[in-house]
């Protein structure tokens, strides 16, 4: 098996490491603009060939993974055009799917493109924080393009499952609505909770200095990369705005109950939420 990985960051590095662990004799080509990550991946034996640019070495890949931010992945499609041949499945790992599907249909209409999104990550980014274990057991969304066949989809499902992930085929628009709720708006909430304390702390910064586990656990993802999340917020704008409006509505409902001293209503709402949250753990 020959695999190309474009972007050796947290996810790209983790996928490369998972492929190397699962298919030790496969050929893996890693392309990264920054030399540090590609040199480290080559030194560790994760990749066989380290490249700074896309070129002929990507010919005849079974899979090419686009693992840069969504805007960068889209910009690279034209460069990939000569190398994403008939036997190559082109995929990505971006957390928004509609924009790249539209770009593929416009720029590479014949490409065997299947969008991908492993539901895995952490607030610390970069190749140094990648690991094969990061994606192990995660749900992995797959979004098939018009140019991809059912055989392509089956190949991608098998690869993802073999790497230890749980493939979930969905439509691109459905994916973007789902992740707005379970990933993107939670980041909105985390960032805004931190901003609330930052802006409204006491002069002595008692809120900041006494913030304990609950606050830190709730806002952990506010330590994520601002550049990446700026792009995500704008790329999935419509869904994030829709879900954020609903979230604000839920907060207003609880606020009204507190104002009315509706003890029974508050208790009922919190109990329902607790039970649902506990069902996620199970």
**98 vs 162: CA distance, rounded Å:** 26
Find out whether 98 and 172 touch, Cβ atoms under 8 Å. yes
Is the pLDDT reported for residue 197 higher than 90? yes
The closest alpha carbon to 127, from 71, 67, 184, belongs to 67
Is the pLDDT reported for residue 282 higher than 80? no
Find out whether 177 and 188 touch, Cβ atoms under 8 Å. no
Angle at the Cα of 96 from the Cα atoms of 90 and 100, rounded to 5 degrees: 45
The closest alpha carbon to 186, from 91, 112, 277, belongs to 277
Please give the backbone phi and psi of residue 4, each rounded to the nearest 5 degrees, phi first: -105, 135
Under 8 Å CB-to-CB from 19, ≥6 apart: which residues?
1, 3, 26, 28, 163
**49 vs 101: CA distance, rounded Å:** 28
Ordered by start, the domain boundaries in the chain are 2-170, 176-281
Find out whether 21 and 167 touch, Cβ atoms under 8 Å. no
The closest alpha carbon to 11, from 132, 181, 178, belongs to 132
Q: What is the CATH number of domain 2-170?
A: 3.40.50.720
Output the six-digit token pair for 28: 């893996």
Task: Find the mean pLDDT for residues 4-14.
Answer: 96
pLDDT band at 123 (very low <50, low <70, confident <90, very high): confident
pTM beyond 0.85: the answer is: yes
The closest alpha carbon to 12, from 50, 55, 60, belongs to 50
Is the pLDDT reported for residue 281 higher than 80? no
Is the pLDDT reported for residue 215 higher than 90? yes
Sheet of 166-169: strands edge to edge? 49-51, 27-31, 2-6, 63-66, 89-92, 112-118, 139-144, 166-169
Q: What is the pLDDT of residue 96?
A: 96
**258 vs 146: CA distance, rounded Å:** 51
The architecture that CATH gives domain 176-281 is: Orthogonal Bundle (1.10)
Shared fold status for 2-170 and 176-281: no
Q: What is the pLDDT of residue 166?
A: 96
For the stretch 143-180, pLDDT in tens is 999 999 999 999 999 999 999 999 999 999 999 999 99
């Amino acid at each position: 098996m020959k695999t190309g990985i474009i972007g050796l960051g947290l996810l790209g590095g983790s996928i490369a490491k998972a492929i190397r662990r699962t298919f030790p004799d496969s050929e893996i080509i890693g392309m990264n603009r920054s030399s540090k990550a590609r040199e480290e991946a080559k030194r560790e034996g994760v990749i066989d060939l380290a490249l700074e640019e896309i070129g002929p070495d990507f010919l005849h890949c079974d899979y090419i993974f686009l693992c840069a931010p969504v805007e960068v992945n889209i910009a690279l499609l034209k460069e990939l055009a000569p190398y994403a041949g008939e036997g190559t499945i082109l995929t990505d790992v971006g957390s928004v799917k509609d924009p790249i599907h539209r770009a593929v249909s416009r720029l590479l209409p014949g490409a065997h493109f299947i969008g991908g999104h492993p539901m895995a990550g952490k607030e610390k980014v970069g190749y140094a924080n990648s690991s094969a274990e990061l994606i192990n057991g995660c749900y992995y969304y797959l979004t098939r393009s018009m140019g991809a066949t059912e055989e392509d989809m089956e190949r991608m499902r098998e690869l993802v499952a073999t790497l230890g992930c749980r493939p979930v085929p969905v439509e691109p628009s459905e994916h973007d609505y789902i992740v707005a709720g379970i990933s993107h708006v939670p980041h909105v909430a985390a960032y805004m909770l931190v901003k609330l304390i930052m802006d409204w702390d006491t002069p002595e910064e008692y809120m900041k200095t006494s913030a304990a586990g609950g606050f830190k656990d709730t806002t952990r993802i506010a330590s994520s990369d601002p550049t990446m999340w700026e792009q995500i917020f704008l790329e999935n704008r419509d869904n994030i705005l829709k879900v954020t409006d609903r979230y604000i509505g839920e907060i207003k409902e609880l606020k009204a109950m507190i104002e009315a001293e509706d003890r029974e209503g508050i208790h009922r709402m919190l109990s329902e939420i607790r039970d649902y949250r506990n069902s996620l753990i199970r």
